Amino acid sequence: MTVTAPHPQPPGQADLERAFALQRDYRWTAKTSSAEHRIALLRKLREAVLRNANATRDALFQDLRKPAEQPMMDEVAVVLHDIDHAVEHLAQWMHPVPVEPRSGSRGDTARVVIQYEARGVVLLFGAWNFPFQLVLAPLVPVLAAGNTAIVKPNEMAPATSALVATILREVFDEQHVAVFEGGVDLANQLLELPVDHIFFTGSPAVGKLVMAAAAGHLASVTLELGGKCPAIIDGTTDLDVAVAYVAAGKTYNAGQVCLSPDYVLIRRDLRDAFVDRYMRWIDTHLYSDGTFNSSAMSAMVDVRNQARVMSYVDEAVRKGATLRGRRGADEDARSIEPVVLLDVPSDASVLREEIFGPVLPVLTWDDTAGLTEHVRAGDKPLAMYIYSSDQNFVSEVLAGTSSGGVTVNGWADHFREPNAPFGGVGSSGMGSYHGVHGFLELSHARTVFVNT
């Protein structure tokens, strides 16, 4: 089945203002809705996601050429899990939380509770690298917390954007969830609406624009951004295991993952052994008889991003870096063959910009102080990966650095944990979601002090 993405007529300002006016009124109804009502809506969304699972796979292949099994794992399954978790726990999350009042004065007879109430109208921007998951997964806590939502899927994944729009229009009334398709002009129009909260997933550069727009009407924000996530290796664990995790994370979705290991920091004497084993992993998993199997890895989202990543490689080599692997790029397939860069000059773009592609710079360190200093010299990353069985080393790295989250001896496991918050810090974002933390993020904690 081939999904054909229509070219939607861009909505006019009147369309946006009409939808916003409907939601501004309906937000009071949504706010006071029961757990049972919200659960019913989430289950209705779940049924639609399941019903469109095959169409989702086809749309994601058309947009990103994701291998057939990948959309079910990293797009559909994540959304279903988030819905199921919210359905199971929502009644508990919504229950007012009693607080022990201070002693003395009138507090001796007072009753104090924290009530979690909806923020109101939420503007939700999707991302192109996971264009199904990163719209519907954030929508789950938006709805669970009793908000309304104006949703913009990402135009760089047009087939998936069209499918998401169809699903949301089938499941929800416009006064509760409205969806609009379009590009940058539409995004700018939407940012002019005086919504109550903005949820954005994307680059730090655009995140700054979103935050500036939110400041115009004092909307709260959740920004899920990115950054240069380091993979740190000290040699106390099995090197092959570290190689497998780093390679899987670097090639998953062609490296177009905000949680992808952006570069490796490895003890100097282990560098060559790591690179040899990494290239062997690449050859085993992505090549057949010496020929790159582009279908085993997602495509770059477009030729512009393909050219951007290749320009990083070319610039680094011109400046003296050593290339391991083949500098292969097929414009028709939008593919890039995974490579390693060694001895990269510090001013090369590949060390300054988030790569978002299957290119791995490998840097070295001699002592922990130098290692942590290098990480601290850049912006705080969304994730950090540490491969070590030395708890003192792990503790020293954690104490000397900051990041949105950390996985030790694995890849992105902290993202997959529903009972822990996921989010960035500093330039990698603000706010967090997943499980109860998403419900809290999309709620206002309202203190109610009752004198009795």
Same domain, 66 and 204: yes
Which residues contact residue 313 at a Cβ distance below 8 angstroms, ignoring those fewer than 6 apart?
Answer: 323, 327, 339, 341, 350, 359
Same structural domain, 40 and 85: yes
312 lies in which domain range? 230-416
Q: Do both 255 and 289 map to the same domain?
A: yes
Pure H helices in 95-157: 133-144
DSSP string, 23-45: HHHHHHHHHT--HHHHHHHHHHH
Question: What's this model's pTM, rounded to 2 decimal places?
Answer: 0.94
Q: Is residue 387 part of a domain?
A: yes
- The amino acid occupying position 139 is L
CA distance 390 to 104: 50
Render pLDDT for 30-80 as a digit per residue (tens, 0 to 9).
999 999 999 999 999 999 999 999 999 999 999 999 987 776 778 999 999
Q: Which two tokens stand for residue 346?
A: 């510090």
Find tokens 């670097």 and name the residue. Answer: 250
Does residue 22 fall inside a structural domain? Answer: yes
The pLDDT assigned to 415 comes to 95
Q: Per the domain annotation, does 421 fall within a domain? A: no
Q: Count CB neighbours of 205 within 10 A.
A: 9
pLDDT by 10s per residue, the chain, length 452: 444 555 567 788 899 999 999 999 999 999 999 999 999 999 999 999 999 999 999 999 999 999 877 767 789 999 999 999 999 999 999 999 999 888 765 657 789 999 999 999 999 999 999 999 999 999 999 999 999 999 999 999 999 999 999 999 999 999 999 999 999 999 999 999 999 999 999 999 999 999 999 999 999 999 999 889 999 999 999 999 999 999 999 999 999 999 999 999 999 999 999 999 999 999 999 999 999 999 999 999 999 999 999 999 999 999 999 999 998 989 999 999 999 999 999 999 999 999 999 999 999 999 999 999 999 999 999 999 999 999 999 999 999 999 999 999 999 999 999 999 999 999 999 999 999 999 999 999 999 999 88
In a domain, 2, yes or no: no
Q: What is the C-alpha separation between 433 and 122, in angstroms, rounded?
A: 14
- 72 within domain boundaries: yes
For residue 25, what is the domain's CATH number?
Answer: 3.40.605.10
Same domain, 86 and 53: yes
Residue 422 lies in a domain: no
- 83 within 8 A of 140, measured Cβ to Cβ: yes
Radius of gyration (C-alpha) of the chain in whole angstroms: 23
- pLDDT recorded at residue 26: 98
**At which residue do the structure tokens 């500093």 appear?**
426
Which three-class secondary structure state does DSSP give residue 132? coil
336 & 394 share domain? yes
pLDDT value for 8: 63
Long-range (24+ apart) CB contacts under 8 A made by 241-244 are: 241/387, 241/409, 242/274, 242/387, 242/409, 243/274, 243/277, 243/278, 243/281, 244/281
Please spell the DSSP secondary structure of 58-74, one letter per residue.
HHHHHHH---TTHHIII
In 215-303, the DSSP E strands lie at: 220-224, 230-233, 263-267, 287-288, 291-292
Q: Mark residue 255 as left, alpha or beta (left: phi above 0; alpha: psi -120 to 50; beta: remaining).
A: left
Give Cβ neighbours of residue 84 (< 8 Å, ≥ 6 apart).
46
Whether residues 297 and 206 fall in one domain: no
Q: What is the DSSP string of 173-188?
A: -TTTEEE----HHHHH
Rounded CA gap, 311 and 160, in Å? 28
In this structure, the answer to whether residues 388 and 265 fall within a common structural domain is yes
Q: Can you tell me the distance from the alpha carbon of 423 to that of 10, in angstroms, rounded to the nearest whole number?
A: 32
**Hunting for tokens 């490796």 — which residue is that?**
264
The number of distinct structural domains making up the chain is 2
Let me know whether 326 and 210 are in one domain: no
CATH of the domain at 275: 3.40.309.10
Structure-token match 């940012």, residue found: 191
pLDDT, residue 2, reads 44
Active-site positions read 224, 258
Say if strands 97-99 and 148-152 run parallel, antiparallel, or are unpaired: unpaired
Residues 240 and 334 in one domain: yes
Residue 276 belongs to what H/E stretch?
helix 271-286
Q: Is residue 1 part of a domain?
A: no
The label of the residue with tokens 């009334």 reads 173
3-state helix, strand, coil in the chain (%, to 5): 50, 20, 30
Asked whether residue 307 is assigned to any structural domain, the reply reads yes
CB 443 within 8 A of CB 243: no
State the Cα angle at 191 between 23 and 48, rounded to 5°.
Answer: 50
- Measured in degrees and rounded to the nearest 5, phi and psi for residue 384 equal -140, 140
3-state SS, 246-264, equals: HHHHHHHHHHCCCCCCCEE
Is 333 found in the same domain as 221? no
| Together in a domain, 335 and 279 | yes
pLDDT recorded at residue 6: 52
Residue 1 is predicted with a pLDDT of 40
What is the Cβ-side half-sphere exposure of residue 3, based on CA atoms within 13 angstroms?
24
211 lies in the same domain as 325:
no
CA–centroid distance for 132 within its chain? 11
CA distance 132 to 151: 12
